[in-house]
Amino acid sequence: MRLYAAVAVRGFRRYATYRVATLAGVFTNTVFGFIVAYTFTALWSVRPRLGGYDLPHAVTFVWLGQALLMTTALLGGGFETELVERIRSGDVAIDLYRPADLQLWWLASDFGRAAFHLIGRGVLPMAAASVVFRLAWPAEVSTWVCFLVSVGLGVLVSFAIRYLVALTSFWLLDGAGALLLATLLATFFSGMVLPLTVFPGWLGTLARALPWSAQLQVPADVFLGRHRGTGELWALAFQAGWAAVLLGAGRLLQSVATRKVVVQGG
Amino acid sequence: MADAEYPVGRRTALFEPRGRTAAVRDGLRGYLLIAGMWVRSTVVYRTSFVLMTLGNFAMTALDFAAVAIIFGHTRVLGGFTLTETAFLYGSSGVALGLADLAVGSMDGLGRRVRDGTMDTLLVRPVPVFAQAAADRFALRRLGRITQAAVVLGWSMTRLHVAWTAVNVLLVPVMLLSGAGIFAAVFTTGAAFQFWATDAAEVQNSFTYGGNALTQYPPTVFAKDLVRGATFVVPLAFVNWMPALHILGRDNPLRLPGWVDFCSPLVALAVCALAGLAWRAGLRSYRSTGS
């Protein structure tokens, strides 16, 4: 356990090292937040209460998206690129010899990264937004706690999906295509381009049931206080359920991959 | 005797100042050679290449799906219909796609400066700009261009616009000028990375962010944002200004009518500025020295 905690701490520090990159990212998140917030404002001014949100809710949703974009790695760029490269080069063989579990190792490092991104990339754009826009902040401490738990579960689901995607390079060798496809699904079905409650008919129902909604839609709804009473717990259970299923699938695929595939190199 | 054997002729030929056209031709040739090499290397992993191109297409298609969903809830956004917004979306997407294909790889320059591989570019007999622009040339970016072109074509068949000679001519002029403006932004961003090697993400605000901005009507945004996109970073000239003329819309900043035709001039001006920024950046480059 201490090993994985140490890995997580170093994951945090590794990303914290690049201060200029972080500031550049904050700037970009803020610019995008402004652009999207204006389009949402235009939409909600003609359709107030669309998708069950009022204008401050909708604008807050935009900024939560910018804050969680890096945290739940919707655009990728976390450990998975590294793991894909290690599989391609054959270095993964060394990882498998180590007295540490492959999945837990990368999970720990990804949690460290996510924690840094939540603080480094999440807080400042939200602060900048609150100067210009009216945001819907949670009124109660319990909502904040629930939100943080929900973000944590979102990171877990995000990790589980990216781990599965990275493992496909045992067969495809070049993981770039699969990574792009994963990014694509994550941005659309997480609610990053539009809240999933605005999606029409069956598409909306489907999108809300898929695991990607755990990465933004669910934490955002918890933040905005859309779930009352036990609804909040159900939302967290939904995330935890997907996390368990996908992490399990990752284990399974890992054992198949390591047994059947001959590692390249040498 | 020794003096006569010294290869004076060859030496002067090497250092003789060449004409500007010859230099440009050399650069272009180097660019095409490097780009071709990268294309060949990407097609080796065929499955992944097909997935990447489709993914690139789908990525932007889903972007448009969001626009379509928005217009499923309202008939007009900022006073613009779906067809009109599709026209803006398509023109902005094609312009960015072209620039991204041609010089988009330059955002990896900071990494080269950081790890010292920039030095390799300096010793090769090809202009550094051509090398940096062709580095990791990504043919998959055709996916974005195709998707945007499809949307643009679709919108043009459905727009109720008088297709006069001026309007018809304005479309390709708009796309090329737009690509020029985006290419200048990519170049300036890359030049900036000579000083701030870690700040590659800043330029995303103006390239992909500029794309996100100009795919919606200007009436959606606050006046100050539109002003900034007109006078500071002239993204409004990528498509807003010429497109508003084609669509017969009023200028959001009440600028005179001739401004609608200024995109090529603006593109030339920002490309010249980007060129200066690139030179300044390259001159200030100090190797890591290891």
Contact A24 B78 (CB under 8 A): no
Contact A194 B204 (CB under 8 A): no
Do A134 and A59 contact (CB within 8 A), yes or no?
yes
Res B6: pLDDT? 45
Q: Which residues of A touch B198 (CB under 8 A)?
A: 18-21, 24
Q: Is residue B4 part of a domain?
A: no
Domain limits, chain A = 2-260
Q: How far apart are alpha carbons B260 and B17 in whole angstroms?
A: 41
Res A262: pLDDT? 65
Q: Is residue B72 part of a domain?
A: yes
Q: Is residue B256 part of a domain?
A: yes
* Chunked mean pLDDT (size 10), chain A, 266 residues: 93 91 93 95 94 95 96 90 89 87 94 95 94 94 95 97 93 80 91 94 96 97 90 95 98 88 58
Res A78: pLDDT? 85
Chain A, nearest residue to B140 by Cα: A177
Q: Is residue B39 part of a domain?
A: yes
Q: Return the half-sphere exposure (C-beta side, CA atoms, 13 A cut-off) of residue A200.
A: 10
Q: Is residue B290 part of a domain?
A: no
pLDDT above 70 for B141: yes
Mutate to test the interface with A, among B41, B43, B47 (most CBs of A within 10 A): B47
Q: What is the pLDDT of residues B259-290, one digit of tens each?
A: 999 999 999 999 999 999 999 999 999 887 55
Residues of the domain holding B168: 16-283
How far does the CA of residue A75 sit from the closest CA of chain B (Å)? 11
Mutate to test the interface with A, among B49, B50, B57, B70 (most CBs of A within 10 A): B70
Res B281: pLDDT? 94
Q: What is the pLDDT of residues B161-209, one digit of tens each?
A: 989 999 999 999 999 999 999 999 999 999 999 988 888 889 999 999 9
Q: Is residue B5 part of a domain?
A: no
Among the partner residues A174, A184, A200, nearest to B69 by beta-carbon distance: A200
Q: Is residue B169 part of a domain?
A: yes
Contact B55 A39 (CB under 8 A): no
How far does the CA of residue B274 sit from the closest CA of chain A (Å)? 20
Q: What is the pLDDT of residues B216-259, one digit of tens each?
A: 999 999 999 999 999 999 999 999 999 999 999 988 899 999 99
How far does the CA of residue A177 sit from the closest CA of chain B (Å)? 5
As for how many domains chain B has, the answer is 1
pLDDT above 50 for B11: no
Percentage, residues of chain B above pLDDT 70? 93
Query: What's the full length of chain A, in residues?
Result: 266
pLDDT above 60 for B3: no
Q: Which residues of B touch A202 (CB under 8 A)?
A: none
Contact A18 B198 (CB under 8 A): yes
Q: What is the pLDDT of residues B41-93, one digit of tens each?
A: 988 888 778 878 888 888 888 889 999 999 999 999 999 999 999 999 999 99
Among the partner residues B47, B69, B212, nearest to A35 by beta-carbon distance: B212
Res B17: pLDDT? 56
The model's pTM is 0.90
